[in-house]
A and B are shown apart, each in its own frame.
Chain A
Amino acid sequence: MSGLLDISGLSLEFRTRGGTVSALQNVSLSIGKGETVGLVGESGSGKSVLSYAIMGIQDPAARITAGRVNFSGMDLLAMPQRQLADIRGREIAMIFQNPRVALNPIRRVGDQIGDVLARHTTTLARDREARTVAILQSVRIPDPQRRARAYPFEMSGGQCQRVMIAMALAASPSLLIADEPTTGLDVTTQAAIMGLLREAAGDRQMSTLLITHDLSLASERCDRIAVMHAGHIVETAPTRELFAHPRHPYTAALIRSVPASAATLADLDAIPGSLPDLRAPDLPACRFAERCSRAQARCREQPLPQVHKQGATVACHFPL
């Protein structure tokens, strides 16, 4: 399937004093037009690194060693920075986890949205203010005229996230990367924000990559889910199928560890061990092998097969 975004065989490492960290290895993922794909996994599994690599805003210590990132026919990795800067914000927009940190604390939120309009759209300077107010209205900020003049510290976390969304949507991007957009917000605010994102995506056929550690949230909002563990994508499947029949042992363990899945505390299973140290030069082929009850010698030695079946993939020698 050729989608709007096609990531194939992407590997990325960080050169650090403590050694080379293999943060992403042979990651492939595609997102179709208008599709919402969830990227889930524990903290440290490489979810954010992957999104930064798509945006071309990775840390200077990061080096992409293999792979391609194709966005509507363009190779993002080969693109000069200037051209990439035109695409960021216009074609691919991102909302970050902590809106208070991501917004400029000393500029009014209306001005910050105006910046996006000035850089990425053909909105005339004299229309910018009206457009900003209209955008704030579209993300349901009450009293948008007045709130456009507010500073981020004067707004609640939920309101700041709405402003972030307004900024991201200002130039009508075709792909939105939402990195933990509702972490730290109340469930009621979360539901409102997620509803807003879905509405925006539906209105303009926008594709969304939703990065989250919350499996329930991903299951509720995504068409397809990709599960990450220690820099590998271990399984991708349509949401319903992933929860009905998880095929990778890690996916199954992750689902069993979610409190919503358990009737009593005894049903709740933890995943033994922790993520492997990604600096180790002798990482096993399957990075989940040390935590897996089905692991055998083959898992540590032989490269992982990528089993494809009806739009689903699983990287495991012994899938469930």
Chain B
Amino acid sequence: MTHLLDVNRLVKRFPMRRRAFGRGAPSFLHAVDEVSLTIGAGECVGLVGESGCGKSTLVRVLARLLDATEGTIAFDGEDLAAVPAARFARHARRRELQVVFQDPTESLNPRYSAADCIAEPLRLLAGLNDVAAIAARVEEAAREVGLPVALLNRFPHQLSGGQKARVNIARAVAVRPRLIILDEPTAALDVSVQAIVLDLLADLRRRHGLSYLFVSHDLNVVRLMCDRVMVMYMGRIVESGPAGEVFARPAHPYTRLLVDALPRLGVPASNAPLPAGEPGSPIDPDPHQCRFASRCPQARPRCSEMSPSLASVGAAREVACHFPLIDRPAPEHIK
């Protein structure tokens, strides 16, 4: 099966300031480390992880706002990683891959009306230049996301958070993309509005067969929205699998930690303390050590000697852990 997006061993390292007098090897911040992922047509894949884990860098590399250090990004068979980020703005594929950014206020030009915001990509990416045609497409997009056409002349500061979220989504869908990267699309919204926006996103995906990469820190939202989920820790994917299963029965101790830390509705918190600690430094991490070992409640000596790589556990599930919380299937030759 071919996937719409097929990312292979993607690496993004940021060089740090050189040491004094240029002696010694330069340091690198390993933001994204050998990440491979696929997104099928019409599929919604979730990406979760703590702040600083590299989610946003991965999004920016996939959206071709940053150049990858290594690896390939095959989009419908074409390697986009080979196109420099500076040139991608004019690339033919730019239209097919859209991003909805986290903060609906910050990501709108305050001097553009809602209509201008939606019209700009139509002009630049869809190649429309007829005023009437653009206006028609803007209205179509507004109707599609449930934004009252009467609000199109308003400026961002005259719109509510939910309406601004709709403008951002309308701007992304107006050019009829195939993949939308949603970076925390509802983090800035109240729960009362969040439900509407999530419904809208699910509806658009169904109607247009869109694929989503859904980045969020809210595990419950990911569980409701996504077919599959990937858990990222310090630049690496540590677990992936069907969203419901991964959260119900985490295989990686880190996923387990995230699930346990989640407040439960109507259930008092347990007194058991969670393992403390914050992620270690992503600058020149020890390549022979599991990056979670320092925080892991069940780390054993082997975890400090060899970094685990993703291996399958059960159908469609993968985990990067020497001692996963669910049993691996017996290797073929033993069966």
Check if A105 is an interface residue, CB within 8 A of chain B. Answer: no
Check if A129 is an interface residue, CB within 8 A of chain B. Answer: no
- Among B192, B198, B267, find the residue whose CB has the most chain A CB atoms closer than 10 A: B192
The docked-state distance in angstroms from the alpha carbon of A240 to that of B264 is: 12
Cβ A220 vs Cβ B269 within 8 A: yes
Question: What's the least CB distance linking B197 to chain A, in Å?
Answer: 9
Question: What's the least CB distance linking A143 to chain B, in Å?
Answer: 13
Check if B199 is an interface residue, CB within 8 A of chain A. Answer: yes
The docked-state distance in angstroms from the alpha carbon of A265 to that of B194 is: 11
Known: A191-B274, A213-B190. Is A269-B263 also a contact (CB below 8 A)? no
Check if A158 is an interface residue, CB within 8 A of chain B. Answer: yes
The docked-state distance in angstroms from the alpha carbon of A138 to that of B223 is: 36
Cβ B269 vs Cβ A259 within 8 A: no
Q: Chain A interface: which of B3-11, B14-22, B165-173, B214-222? A: B214-222
Cβ A215 vs Cβ B265 within 8 A: yes
Cβ B190 vs Cβ A43 within 8 A: yes
Cβ A158 vs Cβ B193 within 8 A: no
Cβ A258 vs Cβ B265 within 8 A: yes
Cβ B261 vs Cβ A213 within 8 A: no
Check if B83 is an interface residue, CB within 8 A of chain A. Answer: no
Number of interface residues of A (CB under 8 A): 44
Check if A274 is an interface residue, CB within 8 A of chain B. Answer: yes
Cβ B224 vs Cβ A220 within 8 A: no
Question: What's the least CB distance linking B158 to chain A, in Å?
Answer: 13
Interfacial chain A residues near B190, Cβ < 8 Å: 42-43, 213
Cβ B195 vs Cβ A270 within 8 A: yes
The docked-state distance in angstroms from the alpha carbon of A261 to that of B191 is: 12
Known: A219-B266, A268-B224. Is A186-B191 also a contact (CB below 8 A)? no
Q: Assign chain B's interface to a size class.
A: 35 or more
**Count, A-B residue pairs, CB within 8 A:** 121
The docked-state distance in angstroms from the alpha carbon of A152 to that of B318 is: 39
Check if B258 is an interface residue, CB within 8 A of chain A. Answer: yes
Cβ B269 vs Cβ A221 within 8 A: yes
Known: A213-B190, A213-B191. Is A220-B263 also a contact (CB below 8 A)? yes
Interfacial chain A residues near B51, Cβ < 8 Å: 157, 186
Question: What's the least CB distance linking A173 to chain B, in Å?
Answer: 22
Cβ B267 vs Cβ A219 within 8 A: yes
Interfacial chain B residues near A258, Cβ < 8 Å: 191, 220, 265
Question: What's the least CB distance linking B246 to chain A, in Å?
Answer: 15
Known: A187-B262, A253-B192. Is A265-B218 also a contact (CB below 8 A)? no
The docked-state distance in angstroms from the alpha carbon of A76 to that of B276 is: 39
* Residue from the list B193, B199, B257 in contact with A265, Cβ < 8 A: B199
Cβ B269 vs Cβ A194 within 8 A: yes
Which partner residue on chain A sits nearest B266 by CB separation? A243
Cβ A254 vs Cβ B261 within 8 A: no
* Residue from the list B50, B192, B268 in contact with A186, Cβ < 8 A: B50
The docked-state distance in angstroms from the alpha carbon of A302 to that of B42 is: 52
Check if A61 is an interface residue, CB within 8 A of chain B. Answer: no
Question: What's the least CB distance linking A81 to chain B, in Å?
Answer: 35
Question: What's the least CB distance linking B147 to chain A, in Å?
Answer: 14
Question: What's the least CB distance linking A246 to chain B, in Å?
Answer: 10
Question: What's the least CB distance linking A259 to chain B, in Å?
Answer: 4
Interfacial chain A residues near B225, Cβ < 8 Å: 265
* Residue from the list B202, B264, B274 in contact with A216, Cβ < 8 A: B264
A167-203 contact mask (Cβ, 8 Å, vs B): 1 or 0: 0000000000000000000111111101100100000
- Among A156, A219, A221, A261, find the residue whose CB has the most chain B CB atoms closer than 10 A: A219
Cβ A271 vs Cβ B192 within 8 A: yes
Check if A217 is an interface residue, CB within 8 A of chain B. Answer: yes
Which partner residue on chain B sits nearest A157 by CB separation? B51
Known: A217-B263, A260-B264. Is A270-B199 also a contact (CB below 8 A)? yes
Cβ B220 vs Cβ A260 within 8 A: yes
Cβ A265 vs Cβ B50 within 8 A: no
- Among B195, B220, B273, find the residue whose CB has the most chain A CB atoms closer than 10 A: B195
The docked-state distance in angstroms from the alpha carbon of A43 to that of B195 is: 15
Question: What's the least CB distance linking A165 to chain B, in Å?
Answer: 15
Interfacial chain A residues near B199, Cβ < 8 Å: 265, 268, 270
Interfacial chain B residues near A244, Cβ < 8 Å: 266
Question: What's the least CB distance linking B334 to chain A, in Å?
Answer: 37
Cβ B191 vs Cβ A188 within 8 A: no
B267-315, CB < 8 A from A: 267-269, 273-274, 276, 278
The docked-state distance in angstroms from the alpha carbon of A191 to that of B289 is: 27
Which partner residue on chain A sits nearest B220 by CB separation? A259
Q: Show 10 A/B contacts (Cβ-Cβ < 8 Å), sorted by A.
A: A158-B278, A190-B263, A217-B263, A219-B264, A220-B267, A243-B265, A258-B191, A265-B202, A274-B160, A274-B162
Apart from A156-B278, A217-B263, 19 more pairs, CB < 8 Å: A157-B51, A187-B262, A190-B263, A192-B274, A194-B269, A219-B264, A220-B269, A221-B263, A239-B268, A240-B266, A257-B191, A259-B194, A259-B195, A260-B262, A262-B220, A265-B202, A265-B225, A270-B195, A274-B162
Task: List residues of chain A with CB under 8 Å of any chain B CB.
Answer: 42-43, 140, 156-158, 186-192, 194-195, 198, 213-217, 219-221, 239-240, 243-244, 253-255, 257-262, 264-265, 268-271, 274
